[in-house]
Chains A and B, each alone.
Chain A
């Protein structure tokens, strides 16, 4: 017999208490009057020299009750080696989350991790439930053994691990994996046919690098009774350096922008001198420059001017220990063409007209090539195809109908109401036969109010730094009469009440109406800082459908339809990086699984895109452990060392194979206490009066 908490056995010393109390005389029951107690001192409790059998029995019962209480606390148990008996024990569920993210490629972390999985199998007994997930940015279920069959199941897991020869290139999303595992356990237990499991543990075997995402756990109500143990492998004591591209802030600010890259050095790095190397596709000698990045800092490096002409497609940082993330694949952005048609009577070089400012707003950038055309509203020519139509004047019936069709087919049009002549067009486009247009003669100027900054078109101004429209004065504006109530969103109103900017959905397309334009005679809009963001916002859905970044991360969903300026038809194939690699037939979405330069090609076109490891993987310093506690995870142990794990496994085994007897000891103790109470009550009734001799 062994004891789970043997220290409580010290409590057996408490047996001395009833023995001493029994040796001491009970409080005398006889009373003796005496002349004066002035010469008497209090003496020690009198000793009973005449013990009675009843007292001995009581003493025995009291001692036994005390002894059993000590036993209950010490938790006696007998380890059972009988396999039949072991089969009857309570089952446990061990879920192992194995990190296979890119950062696990460092050193021998992957081998260590697989070894830890095998070590964890030691604590499993017959009938236990074992689940193994490998996670990076997603969690893959590798094995789910409902009833553990000892060596047979172990062999299955070992074979499976052998097949996992190396980790993936994905980013680590530990939070998602934890939630996934927790939900799986909950789902399984929700089944009423399943016997509830006594112990449910999730063991995370990971390098627990700081770049691992834990956001999914935040706000997730962790199921009760499921404990999480963390087994950190590998201690990052030499730091790591990562490289990533600095994204352009805004579309309209990307004019002729020079690609820039951020080199980050981890805070525990042992070095701060690196070499920034660029390699071109022509396999010329690599270009390089020295970079100084102190530990814990990052530095943005722009391409030197002399590098700009080169067709650089690989960048790397040399000088740190871990090289899994040192190469950055770079695909030059392809310029997308956007066609804008202005329908009106303005001259392109007339600074008093709207077209002049429209052409100025849509300047060519490295990513976008704007083609601004213009035509008269009275023209008999057919309406050309365009991504955005801007209507500045009344148009004839033919154009009006064509425009309506184009918009209904999914086009975008921006209509500026200048005069009452446009009433006919507006009646057609807004399906409002009674619509009229009145000029509003303001004494001084009109201001915008009731702006719907939550709307996607105006959301660019949501930041309080940009939401002030009081500097924007409107000298002339119009009021649309008899507007239909349905199907029209008013994005902004003038301070006198009439709508200023309206958005109308026409089947697949959109029509935006401005009751005052940006001509200098109408307003200050063209000259304000709001003008270009507003036009880009109107164009944004078009750009989103057509443009596609060339830079992706492993695990990103790449929409094939966005390549080739949005004109993807027929079969598309993707050639992964590497030599002699067979092309893959692409569907709508492609999920790259390794970094490199991919080529996507259709029947008559071909484009290149780059896939990289997510930059967060480069942050290899360990996660602060208090972060797990803050997230409310019920931790078994923050980080278990191998020794602690071995002890824990041994304890688990012992617990699994033991029979505890504390319940019986407790029952016996209660019985003794009851008998003692009865005897003591009986004894107290039969006490004889003690008389003075």
Chain B
């Protein structure tokens, strides 16, 4: 990767993609009218359209589009396994993931959306709530530039904790390699989807993690647990590929069951193409559940 500074890297990647706006998932007290609805008992009488009532002698509630900006939180995996790569076969997964997150953050801040950041390994390391400020991008990039110091990934524990930290509904972009047992992942993700978050998942993998392209036998050491194994890659490859395919398939199933949009990217893929793909990707249908607000929210 030629551009080392994360800030510059993000800008270079995001230039030319500033198009399109989000629609807030919330409806509320706003200027832009959306529709009428017949009054039912319990509705706030403040929202009654008196004019229509006078005209038609029927009670209608006037509904407006909520104009609140998008709140996007990037959740970036800072575990040790993300440090794999960095050789001639591709950049580190962590570099790739952080660049991706930084690019999207810059892009969202450009369109005045609130952007936050959470880093995690087995637990939540940092959490910067989504804000739209002048120095928010700087804060985010500063945090992203710190070297991951975590060890083992425990995605579920981290997500459970983040679910309580992330308040309002918004977009959640989860960047991780997902090389962790996924038995309880669905339950953890459900905390977000049930809360109405638009969850997007980016699974970053190194090409060697996909095709296990090693030749010489070596002592393979797990970056997270430190466990080592003497392996003849020729003998182990087939089984490995089978298992990782099965793991990915299981992940896909989990995401689709939750209506989560997921991307699997290799660190060799050009990032602008990935960004393009990300932005063009429509949220999965299950996610488009815009709750109709019955009134003005306190926010």
Residues of chain A touching chain B, judged by Cβ–Cβ distance below 8 Å, are: 25, 27-28, 30-47, 690-693
Contacts and interface: CB of A to CB of B under 8 A. Distances in A.
Given A35-B179, A693-B215, A41 B236 contact: yes
B223 A34 contact: yes
B235 A43 contact: yes
Interface in B220-243: 220-225, 227-232, 235-236, 239-240, 243
A693 to B, nearest CB: 4
A593 to B, nearest CB: 90
B183 interface: no
Contact of B81 (A25, A32, A36, A693): A36
A44 B223 contact: no
B181 A30 contact: no
Contacts of A35: 81-82, 84, 93, 177, 179, 206, 209, 222-224
Q: For this complex, into which size category does the number of interface residues on chain B fall?
A: 35 or more
B216 A692 contact: yes
Given A43-B231, A43-B235, A43-B236, A37 B220 contact: yes
Contacts of B33: none
A48 to B, nearest CB: 9
* Closest 10 A/B residue pairs (Cβ): A46-B232, A46-B217, A39-B243, A35-B84, A36-B179, A32-B218, A35-B81, A43-B235, A693-B215, A37-B222
B209 A40 contact: no
Contacts of B82: 35
Contact of B222 (A27, A34, A44, A691): A34
29 contacts: A28-B219, A28-B230, A30-B219, A31-B218, A31-B228, A32-B214, A32-B220, A33-B84, A33-B220, A34-B220, A35-B82, A35-B224, A36-B224, A37-B225, A37-B229, A39-B240, A39-B243, A39-B247, A40-B229, A40-B239, A40-B240, A41-B236, A43-B231, A43-B236, A46-B235, A690-B218, A691-B216, A692-B215, A693-B214
B287 interface: no
B217 A33 contact: no
B128 interface: no
Query: Taking chain A's interface residues, is the majority helix, strand, or loop, or is none over half, making it mixed?
Result: loop
Nearest to A37: B222
A47 B233 CA distance: 11
Contacts of A45: 230, 232
B244 interface: yes
A97 B82 CA distance: 93
Interface in B240-275: 240, 243-244, 247
A46 B214 CA distance: 13
Given A35-B81, A43-B232, A46-B232, A692 B218 contact: yes
A34 B221 contact: yes
A42 B229 contact: yes
B217 A28 contact: yes
A40 B220 contact: yes
Contacts of B235: 43-44, 46
Contacts of B244: 39
Contacts of A692: 214-216, 218
Contacts of B236: 40-41, 43
A39 B214 CA distance: 15
Nearest to B208: A34
Nearest to B205: A35
Given A30-B219, A42-B231, 14 more contacts: A28-B216, A31-B219, A32-B218, A32-B219, A34-B84, A34-B223, A35-B81, A37-B225, A39-B243, A40-B229, A40-B231, A42-B229, A44-B235, A692-B218
A45 to B, nearest CB: 8
B221 A33 contact: yes
Nearest to A41: B239
B200 to A, nearest CB: 22
Contacts of A44: 232, 235
A28 B218 contact: yes
Interface string B180-220: 11000000000000000000000000100100001111111
A25 B230 CA distance: 11
Contact of A25 (B217, B222, B223): B217
